[in-house]
């Protein structure tokens, strides 16, 4: 999962490629700000320096013009008095090495006095803290940093929490995660939450991300282990939603789920290429959420009965969504959410079946036929493949094929039966009878 804010630990980038990109950008931003600061300081100090005593250029005179006529004595703290406070221009006169938290606090004080905005301050301090954090893990072999063990991951997570704590200690209220978020991205992910609630949500997200990361690295080696991990992930999602409900009002919680839930992601996949209103999106989300709650997806591979039940629920959901998207947008929405419908629609397009409604009818017929024919085939095998069971199966198939011919025309229907999705309309091959016994028993 992606980090909740731009303060998520760069130390985790080894196990999350997306995080690595975020923190590379953060580091570059910090370096850029530092470079600009150094250039401004140099230019301002040069402009304010007194002219040289003589017109002759002597070695070292350039440095004297920048640093002043003489080098001040260092104070008891090891820092020169001039470096400890801004000059007359309002800017710190020189950059200094940052070795301790006290150095960071002094730097922040100088930059605040110079009028630097909080985002620049935060970028600089975050970059410096991230550098310290990375240096702490540099002694580990690169493969442990790229693919951290449970112990390394726990150390990285602890270091990330410490980094956030230091950021808030050094910057005060300006160090809170909510302050650093871009307003547009903030609304995109979290709506109109207050700073206090957003900080609480971001901390909650970070805690659950750590737990989910630990669960995902559980060392599953078989289907039972994978199923257990999936169940644990689902449990964490349920607990997270419960905790969010304790932090947010019902309206705030829905605004959060509209943006961040599994149901929302399914709806977004369908509307990404469509023009829908806020009201239409919210209506689609509520239908999807209700369907997901009523038909939870079982972990592991579903049985045929579970698959057919899920498909029936999906068909019912589609009909409800059709009341929201009342035009051809509905069919485009299905292309983004249902792989079976997409396959039917692509076949229809290649074979000049222009009406999307026809593709939808073929899709519905496909789902209905699949459930019925698989059930009859199982009954036929259970009855030993007797003539009556096979006849019932053949009768159903004939009826479904007649409907398919009526929708697509005989030629296109015949081509459809050769597609992977259309093979269900073909009568299963009859079992080969055992060979006749050889005369004499040989």
Residue 16 sits at φ, ψ, to 5 deg, of: -130, 100
pLDDT at position 148: 85
pLDDT at position 436: 57
Mean pLDDT by 10 residues, the chain (442 residues): 40 43 48 49 43 40 34 42 47 64 88 88 88 86 86 85 88 86 92 94 90 68 74 88 95 96 95 95 97 82 78 92 94 93 93 91 92 76 68 88 94 93 77 55 44
pLDDT at position 59: 38
pLDDT at position 13: 40
What is the rounded distance in angstroms from the CA atom of residue 412 to the CA atom of residue 198?
Answer: 56
What is the rounded distance in angstroms from the CA atom of residue 275 to the CA atom of residue 419?
Answer: 32
Burial group, residue 179, by CB count within 10 angstroms (0-12, 13-18, 19+): middle
The answer to whether the CB of 123 falls within 8 A of the CB of 29 is yes
pLDDT at position 347: 94
In this structure, the number of other CB atoms found within 10 A of the CB of residue 347 comes to 19
pLDDT at position 119: 85
Q: How far apart are the first and last CA of the chain?
A: 67
Residue 194 sits at φ, ψ, to 5 deg, of: -70, 165
pLDDT at position 12: 40
């Amino acid at each position: 999962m992606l980090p909740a804010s731009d303060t998520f630990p760069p130390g985790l980038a080894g196990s999350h490629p997306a995080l690595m990109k975020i923190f590379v950008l953060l580091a570059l931003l910090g370096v850029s700000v530092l470079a600009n600061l150094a250039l401004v300081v140099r230019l301002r100090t040069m402009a304010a320096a007194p002219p040289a005593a003589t017109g002759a250029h002597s070695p070292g005179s350039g440095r004297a013009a920048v640093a002043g006529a003489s080098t001040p004595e260092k104070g008891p703290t090891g820092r020169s008095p001039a470096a400890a406070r801004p000059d007359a221009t309002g800017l710190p006169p020189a950059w200094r090495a940052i070795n301790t938290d006290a150095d960071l606090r002094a730097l922040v004080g100088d930059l605040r006095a110079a009028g630097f905005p909080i985002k620049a301050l935060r970028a600089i301090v975050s970059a410096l803290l991230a550098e310290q954090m990375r240096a702490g893990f540099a002694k580990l072999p690169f493969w442990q940093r790229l693919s951290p063990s449970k112990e390394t991951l726990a150390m990285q997570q602890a270091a990330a929490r410490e980094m956030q704590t230091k950021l808030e200690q050094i910057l005060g209220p300006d160090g809170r995660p909510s302050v650093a978020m871009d307003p547009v991205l903030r609304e995109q992910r979290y709506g109109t939450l207050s700073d206090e609630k957003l900080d609480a949500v971001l901390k909650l997200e970070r805690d659950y991300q750590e737990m989910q990361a630990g669960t995902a690295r559980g060392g599953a080696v078989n289907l039972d282990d994978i199923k257990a991990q999936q169940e644990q992930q689902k449990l964490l999602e349920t607990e997270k939603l419960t905790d969010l409900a304790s932090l947010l009002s019902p309206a705030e919680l829905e605004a959060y789920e509209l943006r961040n839930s599994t149901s929302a992601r399914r709806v977004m996949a369908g509307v990404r290429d469509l023009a829908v209103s806020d009201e239409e999106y919210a209506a689609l989300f509520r239908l999807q959420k209700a369907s997901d709650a009523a038909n939870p997806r079982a972990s592991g591979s579903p049985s045929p009965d579970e698959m057919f039940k899920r498909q029936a629920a999906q068909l019912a959901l589609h009909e409800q969504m059709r009341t929201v998207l009342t035009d051809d947008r509905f069919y485009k929405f299905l292309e983004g959410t249902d792989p079976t419908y997409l396959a039917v629609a692509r076949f229809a397009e290649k074979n000049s079946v222009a009406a999307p409604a026809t593709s939808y009818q073929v899709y519905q017929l496909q789902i209905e036929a699949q459930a019925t024919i698989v059930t009859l085939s199982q009954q036929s095998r259970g009855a030993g493949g007797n003539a009556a069971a096979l006849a019932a199966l053949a009768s159903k198939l004939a009826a479904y094929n007649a409907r398919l011919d009526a929708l697509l025309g005989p030629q296109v229907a015949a081509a459809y039966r050769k597609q992977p999705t259309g093979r269900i309309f073909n009568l299963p091959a009859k079992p080969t009878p055992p060979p006749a016994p050889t005369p004499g028993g040989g």
